[in-house]
Chain A
């Protein structure tokens, strides 16, 4: 079974803190993605990566950066967390046969 894990299910941070969200997949997938989910807006793509050290901006990259130093790990970084980044964050990886597998999500609250 494909497994995508995220470092935390729930996280509470203060405004201005640097936040790291980690995602690990165990199926040697090349493509990995970070989304955020907000009520009424569905899943919005923040960043994605199609190889180690490669990254592409999604629809809403502002306020975020990413790191892909190893194939299995894709990190989302909030350089200076703000209250409007309170959201559910979902990581996903994708196999070459189209299918995308999601992690369990991290619910981040910024106070």
Chain B
């Protein structure tokens, strides 16, 4: 079983704080790394797909970086808002299937 680890498991921040989480994954058989945002009672929603070492992606206040050689990715949220509250999942993709981490549950307090 492939190990995809996410930390922290949960995070509580105040509105306006910037925050980041980590996803670590195996450095062999890498094809892509995915980030998803999962709100309660909804389907996971794709945020980013990253394939190249050194990739940086940005969507509004959310950005992500990728290091395939050392097997980690960071997700950053700048100026957190209450609507950012969700579970953030990363998934390691070996072009055959995807393995998910347990997620980081973010709560942003107004």
A interface vs B, CB < 8 Å?
Answer: 4, 33, 35, 40-45, 48, 50, 56, 58-59, 90, 94, 98-105
Nearest CB of chain A from residue B48's CB, rounded to whole Å: 10
A104 and B51 contact, CB distance less than 8 A: no
**Count of B residues near A, CB < 8 Å?**
23
- Tell me which residues across on chain B come within 8 A of A105, comparing CB atoms: 43
What is the interface of chain B, defined by CB distance below 8 A to chain A?
Answer: 1, 6, 9, 31-32, 34, 42-44, 46, 49, 51, 89, 91, 93, 96-103
Q: Report Cα–Cα, A8/B13, bound state, in Å.
A: 35
- Grouping DSSP codes into helix (H, G, I), strand (E, B) and loop, the A interface class, with mixed when no group exceeds half, is strand
- For the complex, give the distance between the alpha carbons of A23 and B44 in Å: 16
B46–A100 CB distance below 8 A? yes
Complexed CA–CA distance, A42 and B93 (Å):
16
| A43–B100 touching, CB < 8 Å | yes
- Nearest residue in B to A35 (C-beta to C-beta)? B100
Are the C-beta atoms of B9 and A98 separated by less than 8 Å?
A: no
Known: A90-B43, A104-B43. A98 touches B101 (CB 8 A): no
Smallest distance from the beta carbon of B81 to chain A beta carbons, Å? 24
- Please name all residues of chain A whose beta carbon is closer than 8 Å to the beta carbon of B1 when the two chains form the complex: 59
Do A42 and B32 touch (CB < 8 A)? Answer: no
A42 touches B97 (CB 8 A): no
Top 10 A-B residue pairs of the complex, sorted by shortest distance between their CB atoms: A42-B102, A43-B100, A102-B43, A98-B49, A42-B100, A102-B44, A98-B32, A59-B1, A42-B103, A48-B97
